[in-house]
Structure 1
């Protein structure tokens, strides 16, 4: 049986189709949230978020800029900037234990993604990957990664990607990640040991597992889940959870 660390060049069968790439990262209940963070989620309004957002173990005071209204049940709040509910560790039960599990699942997913071995691509472009087309597989950089011009993530709908970044991940202003060949953002995982920054009017694709902060600057967009072990900071950004 193939393990979670098999070489990406191998094929697996998903729904009868041959799929390229590593075994998928299981997000567990962390995958229920468009944005999940441990120390806060801030916005310079207006941001536009599709899907629920949550903070834990910190409380609702760490969600700033949302002008949220607490529901009469005390279990969640709402905001005109979010199509979905807002959750915090100091809301009424069952929200606190539910979020504790989600945070644990986020940590497990991060550990899984960082722990994959035998990468198909190592230190590609010495961390400068602007202009490249990225095919399915496991990628590893022992350095920071900078994306200074548009990239394409190309593969079939059943293919998978894991991008392991040891250091920061920086996406330049107006730089776009584009999917081709049927590639799905839900099958793309960026796991980053330091901060993640998307410049103004840039566009992201995939699930972002950040050891520290995730920042989306003015006018940036993301077809993404943003799962951070510290803060997610948005400045008039648009984030939609990938299907």
Structure 2
């Protein structure tokens, strides 16, 4: 039986405290025997990619790590199925086929006791973030996430392309939903955001290319030297 850990990238911000508290409450209620820990780095600008890499890298190769954003609630059964599958299948697993963003209205309903699956929401098509389930061996076989994506924006989309290219398949989705709670959105503009956008364009150009993609991943200062293709 693989050891399971839930890791939450987290740097306190006033508008995110309520969502974070609800996430902790959810895990205490639904997965009381699974360790939940928060992780941050010493970067001046919050670096969620680096947090995720450090969280996964702290565990053993066969452990299962649930990377749970501090504003996103999974469904228990879907999460448990994804955890079981991640221990057996060489791919990162997303425990949802439907990503529901509540916004202020849906989050207020949830806070008032309305069941999550009955709250108002906006469907986010193509979402690949929020909750991911992986083993360290799988995570670093495709380079993890590129820590040059500092601040907010593009790190998940680039990671998805790296996963599909290096492992020969997209992340595996488990039928279910996740629910993203409301908070003040991060600013998506400025010098760092523009740098992220330029790096994302390079990932798009390298998608599907098993020569260019590992070279791009390896440029990151903290890239793991564990890139491997399917069947290796």
Tell me the TM-score range normalised by the shorter chain. under 0.3
Structure-2-length-normalised TM-score: 0.25
Structure-1-length-normalised TM-score: 0.25
- Report which of the two has the higher share of strand: 1
Q: Name the structure, 1 or 2, with higher relative contact order (CA <8 Å, separation 6+).
A: 2
- Report which of the two has the higher share of helix: 2
